[in-house]
Amino acid sequence: MAYELINFQEEVIGSSFTLPVIVDFWATWCEPCGMLEPIITSLAEENKGQWQFIKVNFDEHPELAKEYNIMGIPALRIFHKGEIIASFNGLMWKPQLREWIDGELSKIAPRA
């Protein structure tokens, strides 16, 4: 399930020390953002407990867009332990997005 941002420091930075957090920078006027939203929401439901999903409205939080160098949307960022570990700008279909997320998260998974 997607959650709209309330407190970035707590919900993204703080939470990323427990689980990776995928942040979707989006806007209501962005057509690709609207296409991406149900795809990533579906993946978030399928992967509940493995990572969190937060949506950040680009227009409502321009300071965050500037701080994280968001020049175009949709823009996905994966945060882990307070840092961005992966970035992607644009639209991906579900199989590609799943592969990208799994690939990036496998880099931080503890090795057995």
Using one digit for the tens of pLDDT, what is the confidence trace for 22-46? 999 999 999 999 999 999 999 999 9
pLDDT of residue 112: 44
* CATH at 46: 3.40.30.10
Whether residue 3 is predicted with pLDDT greater than 50 in this model: the reply is: yes
Q: What are 76's two structure tokens?
A: 């996905």
Task: Please indicate, yes or no, if residue 8 is contained in any of the structural domains.
Answer: yes
Catalytically active residues are 30, 33
Rg (CA), the chain: 13
Task: Please indicate, yes or no, if residue 68 is contained in any of the structural domains.
Answer: yes
Single-letter residue type at 22:
I
Global confidence as pTM: 0.90
Q: What are 41's two structure tokens?
A: 């929401």
Provide the domain limits for residue 58: 3-106
Task: Please indicate, yes or no, if residue 112 is contained in any of the structural domains.
Answer: no
Task: Please indicate, yes or no, if residue 111 is contained in any of the structural domains.
Answer: no
Task: Please indicate, yes or no, if residue 20 is contained in any of the structural domains.
Answer: yes
Task: Please indicate, yes or no, if residue 74 is contained in any of the structural domains.
Answer: yes
First-residue to last-residue Cα distance in the chain = 29
Alpha-carbon distance values, 45 to 29, 42, 61, 65, 82 (Å): 25, 5, 25, 26, 23
Task: Tell me the pLDDT tens digit for each residue of 41-95.
Answer: 999 999 988 999 999 999 999 999 999 999 999 999 999 999 999 999 999 999 9
